[in-house]
Amino acid sequence: MVQTADGAVSEVVEVVIDRVISGGLGLAWYEGRTVLVPYAAAGDRLLVQVAPNRRRGVHHGAIVAILSAGPHRIEPICPLYGQCGGCQMQHLSQAASLSIKRDFVVDALRRLARVPAAEAVSCVQPTQPGHTTTGYRQRCQLQLDWQEQQPRIGFHASASHQVVDVNHCAALHPLLNQQLGPLRQWLTSQPSPAATSSRINLACGDSGVAMAPPILTSDPFCRYSLNGFKLSFQVGDFTQVNFTDNQQLVNEVMALAGSGRQALDLFCGIGNFTLPLRQQFDRVTGVELSPASVDRARRNVRHNGLGDISIYRIDLFNPAGTARLTTDPVDCVVLDPPREGALQVSRWLVDRGRIARVVYVSCNPATFARDSAILTAGDFQLRSVQPIDLFPMTHHVELVALFDRKSL
Ligand SMILES: C[S@@+](CC[C@H](N)C(=O)[O-])C[C@H]1O[C@@H](n2cnc3c(N)ncnc32)[C@H](O)[C@@H]1O
């Protein structure tokens, strides 16, 4: 037992990890208590320091020693793994990560959408791997900090605002890794820490690098290729973080969207799905809230000769916003909301009628499951869910799901 500064007692206990659950946490039990352990793998026998405080009967533990490693544990490739908060699943083989990410989606559907276990298992496909597990991140936010007159440049430590100093990040695209050295030099040359910004946004496309604030040479626009189109964006715009595997994501969405007269692309960002949808539908409308993204989507539409696509600025979290959407029959609605999900859009989809298919893209299985329950309580049925590993080495998972109308 260890006494903490506030007098509470934490214990060091031996546990065996049962499985890895959402958030990349190892799940174990000790004397009837649930213990969650970061950086643990299924089958690990561990000595774990268990914090005295608990939330909803769940204790949090930290690994003190690995007594014996589970079969899927591997050596992490980054020396900062465990300190830097960016990655949570580097210690797991790729096969284990893919299978765990599928389980996250199955579990969310079972727990939060009350989908029967057998149905959830048959509906959720094995996670598609990406083309690479490293060097994939094409945008990031770097944190800056000073300690004892030395600059730190990197990412926040896990559950903390402390900056972990990073010289090379295994997840970052090589073009972005190349910026770390010059940025550190620039930071060191500054007369006072107070003169510097506390964060820098970095992004790159197929070539060129942009940063905000533009401390080093920064391209005003980055570009990437997609379905024969060129899309441009500015640093700070929402884009998928992994452009190589973005094509895989877009292919999946387009295959499920099918073809027809009219498609809506809700939460369309800079037009990542909107432009490809025009290759399959006579009429395409994109909807987005961010003025900058609306601007970029319109520019992308124009520059690719697709002037008949309409882009509207609408708040899709608001009933007054969804009330502005078309009342004509729609063959397919694609929606790709932020992590909060699409509660209002899901309600609107159920109430509205005359929508044949919904392709739901999500980076958050929990809000996806919540919205899925709304859609299936209405007139939609969930046909398939395809997880894709767009964020290797982390606990994040992207998914693409198809719903269609029961009554059609
Ligand atoms: C996950 S991104 C998807 C963007 C795009 N589909 C893509 O693949 O790049 C979510 C988008 O929803 C937009 N958004 C966030 N809140 C919104 C709201 N209340 N109404 C409409 N769009 C919103 C964000 O600006 C962002 O572009």
Asked if residue 18 has its Cβ within 6 Å of ligand 1, the reply is: no
Q: Which helix (H) or strand (E) holds 243?
A: helix 243-257
Q: In sequence order, which residues have a C-beta less than 8 Å from that of residue 118 and are 6 or more positions away?
A: none
197 & 259 share domain:
no
* C-beta separation of 346 from 395 below 8 A: no
pLDDT at 197: 66
Asked if residue 247 has its Cβ within 6 Å of ligand 1, the reply is: no
- Domain stops at, among 16, 35, 68: 68
CATH number of the domain enclosing 172:
2.40.50.1070
Number of domains in the chain: 3
pLDDT at 244: 86
- Report CA(336)–ligand 1 centroid distance (Å): 7
What Å distances lie between residue 9 and 46, 49, 50, CA to CA? 19, 10, 9
Tens digits of residue pLDDT in 191-244: 766 656 689 999 999 878 999 998 898 888 999 999 999 999 999 999 999 988
Cα Rg of the chain, angstroms:
23
Rounded distance, CA 290 to CA 311, Å? Answer: 12
- Report CA(260)–ligand 1 centroid distance (Å): 24
333 & 400 share domain:
yes
387 & 254 share domain:
yes
CATH number of the domain enclosing 258:
3.40.50.150
- Domain stops at, among 196, 223, 250: 223
Mean pLDDT lowest among 63-67, 194-198, 270-274, 338-342? 194-198
User: Among 87, 123, 204, 363, which one carries the catalytic annotation?
Assistant: 363
**310 in a domain, yes or no?**
yes
Asked if residue 362 has its Cβ within 6 Å of ligand 1, the reply is: no
pLDDT at 51: 82
267 & 200 share domain:
no
Tens digits of residue pLDDT in 164-181: 999 999 999 999 999 999
60 & 144 share domain:
no
7 & 60 share domain:
yes
- Report CA(73)–ligand 1 centroid distance (Å): 36
270 & 321 share domain:
yes
Handedness of CA 238, 244, 247, 249 (dihedral sign): negative
Sheet containing strand 281-288, strands side by side = 310-313, 281-288, 260-266, 330-335, 355-362, 398-405, 380-388
CATH number of the domain enclosing 60:
2.40.50.140
Q: Which residues pair with 335 in a beta bridge?
A: 266, 360
Taking the CA of residue 239 as reference, the ligand 1 atom at the shortest distance is 9
Rounded distance, CA 300 to CA 284, Å? Answer: 14
**76 in a domain, yes or no?**
no
Which domain does 52 fall in, by range? 2-68
Residue with tokens 């009429």: 283
Catalytic-residue membership of 363:
yes
User: Hey, what amino acid is at 181?
Assistant: G
Sheet containing strand 33-38, strands side by side = 2-3, 9-16, 45-55, 58-68, 33-38, 25-30, 19-21
147 & 292 share domain:
no
* C-beta separation of 116 from 46 below 8 A: no
157 & 205 share domain:
yes
pLDDT at 218: 85
- Domain stops at, among 170, 194, 223: 223
- Report CA(287)–ligand 1 centroid distance (Å): 9
| Nearest-CA residue for atom 26 of ligand 1 | 269
212 & 294 share domain:
no
Q: In sequence order, which residues have a C-beta less than 8 Å from that of residue 50 and are 6 or more positions away?
A: 10, 11, 12, 13, 30, 33, 35, 59, 60, 61
Handedness of CA 232, 236, 240, 245 (dihedral sign): positive
202 & 248 share domain:
no
**347 in a domain, yes or no?**
yes
The stretch 362-379 carries a mean pLDDT of 97
Asked if residue 289 has its Cβ within 6 Å of ligand 1, the reply is: yes
Q: What percent of the chain has pLDDT over 70?
A: 95
**147 in a domain, yes or no?**
yes
| pLDDT tops 80 at residue 7 | no
**152 in a domain, yes or no?**
yes
**114 in a domain, yes or no?**
no
| pLDDT tops 60 at residue 401 | yes
| Nearest-CA residue for atom 1 of ligand 1 | 338
* Residue 74: DSSP 8-state: -
Asked if residue 316 has its Cβ within 6 Å of ligand 1, the reply is: yes
The predicted model scores a pTM of 0.95
| Nearest-CA residue for atom 4 of ligand 1 | 269
The stretch 120-134 carries a mean pLDDT of 96
Tens digits of residue pLDDT in 240-296: 999 889 999 999 999 999 999 999 999 999 999 999 999 999 999 999 999 999 999
- Report CA(288)–ligand 1 centroid distance (Å): 6
Asked if residue 293 has its Cβ within 6 Å of ligand 1, the reply is: yes
**119 in a domain, yes or no?**
no
| pLDDT tops 90 at residue 6 | no
200 & 293 share domain:
no
Asked if residue 267 has its Cβ within 6 Å of ligand 1, the reply is: yes
**217 in a domain, yes or no?**
yes
* C-beta separation of 371 from 378 below 8 A: no
Q: Which residues pair with 60 in a beta bridge?
A: 36
